[in-house]
Amino acid sequence: MTAGWDADSVGSLLRALGLDGVEAVNSELIADFEQRSSAAESLERSLTPEVAPCNVFDASWE
């Protein structure tokens, strides 16, 4: 996502995933989404066509 993440977009994604209990999205969570998104885009650009990209959002939040 090249447009970037903000509290609304992260909150919307979490609600879409069924995580309605998230009351507030803090800057640390937004930074985590930004980092994972950037890593995913970099990885996809470097993969050869026969290799499927992974979903970095499946990683744990630790």
Give 10-49 pLDDT, tens digit per residue: 888 888 877 776 667 778 888 888 888 888 788 778 877 7
Considering all CA atoms of the chain, what is the largest pairwise distance in Å, rounded to the nearest integer?
A: 41
Query: How confident is the model at residue 53, as a pLDDT?
Result: 61
Region of residue 22 (phi > 0: left; psi between -120 and 50: alpha; otherwise: beta): beta
- Return the sign of the alpha-carbon dihedral for residues 41, 5, 31, 21: negative
The model's pTM: 0.48
CA separation for the pair 29, 6 (Å, rounded): 10
Determine the Cα–Cα distance for residues 55 and 37; give it in Å rounded to an integer: 10
